[in-house]
Structure 1
Amino acid sequence: MIDINQQFPQLEPASREPVFDPGDVIAHRRYGYRGVVVAVDPYCQADPGWYLANKTQPDRNQPWYHVLVHDATHTTYVAEENLLPDDSGLPVRHPWLRRYFSEFDGRHYVRNDDPFTLE
């Protein structure tokens, strides 16, 4: 039997600052979708079952981002190594956008104070 605690030891926050901030528009390196960062975790805080089901299983000890996906109704949880900046200047369309952001300046969304939740 696999010892989950041994396979998933307690992680410490990554030793570097995140590359992206809430409000940054990004693109996924592998899957090509665009989105906007709504929240940042200093390391992967998903439960082991979710992580093991992830096809790519990137390093957990790096910043991970909650992203509102353009033209979708869901969010994603993405490791920093899989993201690129999106410099298209195009806005993101997502039904939760106004819940977390007050405006778009043509390259960055202005984040409000509402805490991010998956509800």
Structure 2
Amino acid sequence: MLNQTAKFKIGEIVRHRLFPFRGVIYDVDPQFANTEEWWQAIPENLRPRKDQPFYHLLAENDETHYVAYVSEQNLLPDTSGEPVEHPTVAELFTDFDGRAYVRKPGLKLN
């Protein structure tokens, strides 16, 4: 497996390369750390490599808010300048500068 540095940082807003959703990153795994069952459920032609960073997102689309787990290869920077409206954002972050959120001081994730 490759040893990569994450391209995106906690608090950054990103959008999915293939699907119409965006979100704020709240955690990063240096490589795939979900279940094999989750990975196998992705259609083979869309299945990402495991040897890259994977991001935990507070995600949103036009219909709902949810949590997503997305490979680095499938993310792009979101340049809209719009905040993410996910209800959990206020629990994890403070200020928003038009590109990224600031994580609350002392906040620890599992």
TM-score (structure 1 length as normaliser): 0.81
**Equivalent position of 2:53 in the other structure:** 63
Q: How many matched pairs?
A: 105
In the alignment, structure 2 segments of 5+ residues that lack a partner are none
Q: Which amino acid aligns with 1:31?
A: F
Q: Which residue of 2 aligns with 1:42?
A: 30
3-state SS in 1 of match to 2:65: coil
Structure 1 runs of 4+ with >4 Å offset = none
- The equivalent residue for 2:17 is 29
Aligned to 1:7: none
- Are the equivalent residues in 1 in contact too, given 2:55–2:72 (CA < 8 A)? yes
Aligned-residue offset at 1:34:
1.1
Name the TM-score, length of structure 2 as normaliser: 0.87
For CA contacts below 8 A with separation 6 or more, give which structure has more relative contact order: 2
Find the aligned partners of 2:78 and 2:71 in 1 and give their Cα distance.
16
Please give the alpha-carbon distance, in whole angstroms, between the structure 2 residues aligned to 1:53 and 1:115: 30
Calculate the aligned-residue CA RMSD, in Å: 1.5
Instruction: State which structure, 1 or 2, has the greater radius of gyration over its C-alpha atoms.
Output: 1
> Which one-letter code corresponds to 1:18 in the other structure?
A
Match of 2:96? 104
More strand by share: 2
CA contact (8 A) 2:14 2:24 kept: yes
- Report the alpha carbon displacement of residue 111 of structure 1 after superposing the two structures with TM: 1.1
State the one-letter code of the partner of 2:49: D
1:15 alignment partner in structure 2: 3
